[in-house]
Amino acid sequence: MSRTARVARVTSAGLAALLLATACGRSADSGPDKEAASLGEGPAKGTVTMWSMGDPDPTLESLAKEFEKRNPDADVRITPVPWDAAHDKLTTAIAGGNGPDVSLIGSTWMAEMAAMNGFEATPKEISAASFFPGQWATTTYQDTAYGVPFIADTSVIYYRTDIAAKAGVTQPATDWKGFAENLAALQKTAGKQNPELRYASGMQTGFNAWLFWLPLVWQSGGDIYDPKSKKFTFDTPEVAEALTYYGEIFANKMAPTDKTDGQQGFHDGLIATLQQGASVGGNLHKDSPELDAVWKTMPLPVNKEAAGLAGGSDLAVFRSSDNKDAAWKFVRFLTEAENLAAYGAGTGQLPAAIGAWDDERMTGNTKLAAFREQLDVTKAPPALTTWQQIASVIDSELEKLALGKATVQDVQKALQSKATSIGTGR
């Protein structure tokens, strides 16, 4: 789905970094510094080192060159870091005080690394109002922002119009009940009117299933954690409702449980609907432009309220930076609406700034309209330093439910117990 979806496993290097973090500088109990510096006047000066994530990014490099043109005394140096090594590299750099000036950070890592006192608080000159609320929330830890949203990510429903038409579904329903009826109608045509079709839904189970299930809880009007009481709330009726809806898709054999490649299945007509992020649409268009006319997107179906998950990547300035002012000015430049629109057009990523979506480079792609609508109602997962452990437990319990090895009540009890045992961290 997103860069965020590539959750790093805790390794010995990462654990060592966390232990070192408590021994260096501020203590673990003291928490991160919440004091935000103000940006200086005038252009940026000096060298700004940045870690990007994944493959080399020509669009990012192009924006960096534009920044250098506007700031002649600034020199931006970008180093790509593979996503599978990024988490441990970042935590090790924070612990050792030798990170770059600025880096892309997977949004679900922000709380953990902010708690290590790794990042500077966001300057007041950068306004939260410029960004989708859910995306801004991914930057916050203990009510303080420690970065700026850069790449937004959320999921929508992709559906094959050619397959849906043969099931009498001209436009999928926008509510849970109606959409479930649509899935049942689609499933009835599998191997018949739709001879290649095997599953109505590509709902995910196993690794990273939490990304697709957690919005169901919010859509039901609930949550899994109460920040006021600092207690987990997996034992609520709303969570039960979300688990029931999720589980019934698998109980009715409308989604695969064998780790089928959902994107490939959607492409091949084996799967009729798929809940995924923008990268899937980009891949479909790139690899199979002949299918552009037979797939569309829509926002996630609504239960009691509309909701989606805010993922993606944020930009953070390291406390160890020797050139914080120039680093923040580069971050501010990258996250201006015009530049985020340029980045989105060049990479297919979703801009995190609201104003970027008014740019014709974004409005011209009608298949992005569902994402724009979904971003208005996204929420961030709980800003807990133990979130990766909690997410792993959710994945494991959802898989048991999907495979029929546990009931909704079993899963609720296990989630509440295991999450409480893991705790909220620092």
Residue 6 lies in a domain: no
Together in a domain, 127 and 257: no
The DSSP call for residue 117 is: T
Together in a domain, 197 and 277: yes
**pLDDT at position 31, please?**
60
Q: Which structure tokens are listed for 55?
A: 């493959």
Give the separation between CA 157 and CA 362, rounded to whole angstroms: 19
**pLDDT at position 228, please?**
94
Together in a domain, 282 and 413: yes
**pLDDT at position 14, please?**
37
Give the separation between CA 292 and CA 305, rounded to whole angstroms: 30
Domain span including residue 231: 156-309+384-422
- The answer, as to whether pTM is greater than 0.85, is yes
Together in a domain, 205 and 275: yes
**pLDDT at position 216, please?**
98
Buried b (16+ CB within 10 A) or exposed e, 101-118: bbbbbbbbbbbbbbbbbb
Tally of domains within the chain: 2
**pLDDT at position 317, please?**
98
Residues lower than pLDDT 50 in the chain: 1-29
How far is C-alpha 349 from the geometric centre of its chain's CA atoms? Answer: 12
Residue 16 lies in a domain: yes
Half-sphere exposure of 369 (CA within 13 A, CB side): 8
CB atoms within 10 A of CB 83: 18
Question: Quick one: which of 141, 162, 71, 62 has its CA closest to 384?
Answer: 141
Residue 222 lies in a domain: yes
**pLDDT at position 18, please?**
32
Together in a domain, 131 and 49: yes
**H/E element holding 91?**
helix 83-96
Residue 136 lies in a domain: yes
Residue 7 lies in a domain: no
**pLDDT at position 37, please?**
78
Residue 3 lies in a domain: no
Residue 408 lies in a domain: yes
By CB atoms closer than 10 A (0-12, 13-18, 19+), residue 69 is: exposed
Together in a domain, 210 and 286: yes
Together in a domain, 143 and 219: no
Residue 315 lies in a domain: yes
Q: Which structure tokens are listed for 181?
A: 């009826």
CATH number at residue 164: 3.40.190.10
Contacts of 50 (CB under 8 A, 6+ apart): 64, 76, 77, 78, 79, 100, 101, 102, 103, 104, 330
Together in a domain, 217 and 196: yes
Together in a domain, 291 and 352: no
Q: Where are the alpha helices (DSSP H) in 129-274?
A: 133-137, 161-166, 176-188, 210-219, 237-251, 262-268
Together in a domain, 415 and 315: no
Together in a domain, 294 and 280: yes
Digit-coded pLDDT (tens) for 165-220? 999 999 999 999 999 999 999 999 999 999 999 999 999 999 999 999 999 999 99
**pLDDT at position 260, please?**
87
Together in a domain, 351 and 300: no
